[in-house]
Amino acid sequence: MSKKVLLITPPYHCGVLESAGTWMPLGMVYVAGGLQKAGYEVSIYDAMSKYHTFDDIKKRIKDFNPDTVGTAAYTSSLCDAIAVLRIAREVNPGIITLLGGIHPTFCWEEILQKERNAVDYIIRGEGEITTPELLSRVFAGESPDVPGIAYARDGKIICTKERPLISNLDAMPAAWNLIDWKDYTFKTKKNSTLAVVSSSRGCTQKCTFCSQRLFWREKWRGRSPENFVSELEYLNSTYGVDVAMIADETPTYDRKRWEEILDLLIEKELDLELLMETRVDDILRDKDIIDKYKKAGILHIYVGAESASQETLDRYQKNIRIEQSREAIGIINKTGIISETSFVLGMPDETPESIEAARKLAQYYDPDLAFFLAIAPWPYSDIYPELAPFIEEFDYSKYNLIEPIVRPVNMTREELNKHLLRAFRDFYMGKLEKIEEMSDFKKNYMIEVTRLLINDSYLSNQMKGEMPPDVKKFIEKYITGPESSR
C-alpha cells in the first residue's frame, strides 16, 4: 500500500488577494505532481480557498488518515501553517510533518528553535524533487539528509546543503487532477474557472524589499513556449479554464521566448484570458509588439511603480526611473488592457506629504488600479537591517502589506494607515468620477472591481466612508442599486 500525503493550505486571510479571486496553491500542485510520480497517494486540501476552520482541518486529517501532512507559508501565514501541523500531530503523533515556502526557506532556524515539536522537516527552496526524496528515506528508516532541508535532532538543528535549482521546468509534472476546480474563479468575470500557472521561475533584479528574487537566487529559468502554451490548451479543454493568472515575476524576461508564447496563443485562439505582472522596462522594450499582448488574450497587467521618490526607488534598487513607469502604463492603457500598479510606502522617513506625492504621481501615471501598501519588513530581506530599529509589530500574521509594521519617524503607525487609506480613496474616487469616459470594457471591469472592493476587501469599510456626490451617485447606480444584481 502506498503512503498517503495530505498537502494543506493554512487558512490565512487578510482581505487582499481574496477580493479579486480565489487562487489555487500552485506550489502544492507541483509538489503533488512530484509525489504522485514517485508513487504516493496525494490529496491537496485548500482550506484557505474553502474558508475552512481549524476544526474542519482536523476532521479532514482524521478522515484521510495520512502518513505525512505538509503545508507552506509566507511570512504572514506562518502562524496558521504551524497551527495546521500542530493539529496533525494531535490527530496522530506519528504523522511526518513538512513545512515549505518562502519564509521557512530563510528562517528555518528560528522556526525549528520554537516549533520543533510541530515541524519535523523544513523544505528549503523548490520542493518538487526534495519532498519525495526526503520521504522515501524517512519511510525506509534511512538518514533524511537530502539536499535542501532543515530539521532538529537530538537537541541540534541540522541544515543540509543547498539543492541546485531545477534545470528543466518542462519536465515538471503538475497534479491538475487533484484540483477542486469549482473553488477557483476570477470574480470580475462571472462563472469563470481560474487557474494559476507558471511559465518561468525567477528574477534577476535586486529589489531590496522583495522575497521572490532571494527565493529564486536572482536567477531566471523559462519553460519552452510550446510546453507552456500546450498546458494552457490542456487546462482550457479539459477543465474549462477560461482565466489564468501567470504567477511568474517576469514572464517577459526573454523577449524572443515571450513573443513566441504570444504568437502561439494567437494561433491557438483559446477561449482564455490571462492576468500577469511584469517589469516596466519590459513593457517599454515590447511597445512595438504590445498589440500581440492584447491579441493573445492578456486581460490585465501589473507593473510595480513602488515609489513617488526617485531616491526611494534607488534605495529599493528598482532600477527604473519615474518617467519610465508613466510611459509603460500609458502603453498598456493605449492597448486597452487593464493596468495596475502599486506603491510601497511607510519607510522611516515617510511623511503625510510624501504619501500625498505618491497619490498625485499615481494620478499622473493614470493606471486603472493603484494600491498604496505598507512596507513589510521580511526578516530575511536586504532592507531589514535599515527597518529593524523602527519595527513596532512582531506578530508575523500582520506582515501582509496592509497593516503598518514600521513606524516612521514623523508619524504613528495609526496615522500612516490613515494616510495610506486616504491616498487609495482619493485616487480611486477620482477614477470613478471619470467612469463614463472609459471604454465599455474598462467601464464594466471597473464596476465589478468597485463592487468587490466595497463588499469583499480590507478596504470595504473605508470605501463606504465619505465620498464626493458624483461618486455616491455612481455607487447607487451601479453597485447598490438594481444594476448590482445583474
pLDDT of residue 162: 95
Out of 132, 159, 186, pick the residue that ends a domain. 159
In 3D, which of 294, 393, 288 has the Cα closest to residue 339?
294
* pLDDT over 70, % of the chain: 87
Task: Please give the grid coordinates belonging to residue 229.
Answer: 502554451
Residues 224 and 139 in one domain: no
200-202/96-100 β-pairing: unpaired
Task: Provide the domain limits for residue 148.
Answer: 4-159
pLDDT band with cut points at 50, 70 and 90 for residue 432: confident
Q: Choose between 425 and 274: higher pLDDT.
A: 274
* pLDDT, tens digit (0-9, with 9 covering 90-100), for 63-121: 999 999 999 999 999 999 999 999 999 999 999 999 999 999 999 999 999 999 999 99
206 plus 100 within the same structural domain: no
In a domain, 222, yes or no: yes
pLDDT at 485: 37
The residues, any chain, with a CB within 8 Å of residue 333's CB and separated by 6 or more, are 339, 366, 367, 368
Are 342 and 243 in the same domain? yes
How high is the pLDDT of residue 449? 83
Q: Are residues 257 and 150 in the same domain?
A: no
Domain C-terminal end among 97, 129, 159: 159
- Is the Cβ–Cβ distance between 134 and 121 less than 8 Å? yes
Give domain status of residue 166, yes or no: no
Whole-angstrom distance, CA of residue 363 vs CA of residue 277? 20
Residue 93 gets which letter from DSSP? T
C-alpha to C-alpha distance for 274 and 246, rounded to whole angstroms: 7
Q: For the sheet with 96-100, list strands across it.
A: 41-45, 4-8, 68-72, 96-100, 121-123, 149-153, 156-159
Q: Establish if 448 belongs to a structural domain.
A: no
CATH number for position 15 = 3.40.50.2300
Strands 273-278 and 298-303: parallel
At residue 172 the predicted structure's pLDDT band, cuts being 50, 70 and 90, is very high
Looking at the fold, whether 110 and 38 belong to one and the same domain comes out as yes
Is the pLDDT at 472 greater than 70? The verdict is no
Reported as a pLDDT band with limits 50, 70 and 90, residue 484 is: very low
- Angle at CA 200, nearest 5°, toward 17 and 320? 75
Asked whether residue 171 is domain-assigned, the answer is no
Does residue 451 belong to any structural domain of this protein?
A: no
Mean pLDDT of 452-474: 63
Is the Cβ–Cβ distance between 419 and 408 less than 8 Å?
no
Last residue of a domain, one of 159, 191, 220: 159
DSSP 427-456: HHHHHHHTGGGS-HHHHHHHHHHHHHHHHS
Average pLDDT score over the chain? 89
All three cell numbers of 202, joined, read 525567477
The mean pLDDT of 440-458, rounded to a whole number, is 79
Tell the burial category of 467 from Cβ atoms under 10 Å away from its Cβ (0-12, 13-18, 19+). middle
Based on the fold, state whether residues 356 and 309 are members of the same structural domain.
yes
For residue 318, the model assigns a pLDDT of 53
- What is the pTM for the complete model shown? 0.91
Give the confidence band of 461 by pLDDT, cuts at 50, 70, 90. low
3-state DSSP percent of the chain in helix, strand and coil, to 5: 45, 15, 40
125/40 same-domain check: yes
In order, the DSSP letters of 208-262 are TT-SHHHHTTT-EEE--HHHHHHHHHHHHHHH---EEEE--S-TTSSHHHHHHHH
Mean pLDDT of 348-362: 92
Question: Which residue reads 541544515 in cell numbers?
Answer: 159
Contact by Cβ (8 Å): 217, 246: no
Residues 39, 111 within the same domain: yes
- Do residue 402 and residue 255 come from a single domain? yes
More confidently predicted of 76 and 216: 76
Residues 150 and 186 occupy one common structural domain: no
Q: Report how many domains make up the chain.
A: 2
pLDDT band at 19; cut points 50, 70, 90: low
> For residue 307, what pLDDT is reported?
52
My answer on whether 427 and 367 are in the same domain is yes
Q: Is residue 406 part of a domain?
A: yes
Q: What is the DSSP letter of 72?
A: E
Whether the pLDDT of residue 308 is over 90: the answer is no
pLDDT of residue 101: 95
pLDDT reading at 402 higher than 70: yes
Largest CA distance in the chain: 70
Residue range 188-195: average pLDDT? 93
- Co-location of 248 and 133 in the same domain: no
pLDDT at 314: 55
Q: Quick one: average pLDDT of 364-391?
A: 91
Per-residue model confidence (pLDDT) at position 383: 87
Higher pLDDT, 220 or 295: 295
Q: How many CB atoms lie within 10 A of CB 356?
A: 15
Whether 442 maps to a domain, the answer reads no
pLDDT band at 486 (very low <50, low <70, confident <90, very high): very low
CATH of the domain at 264: 3.20.20.70
Question: What stretch of H or E contains 103?
Answer: helix 102-106
Which range among 212-226, 244-258, 419-433, 454-468 has the greatest average pLDDT?
244-258
In a domain, 467, yes or no: no
pLDDT band at 313 (very low <50, low <70, confident <90, very high): low
Region 411-428: what's the mean pLDDT? 93
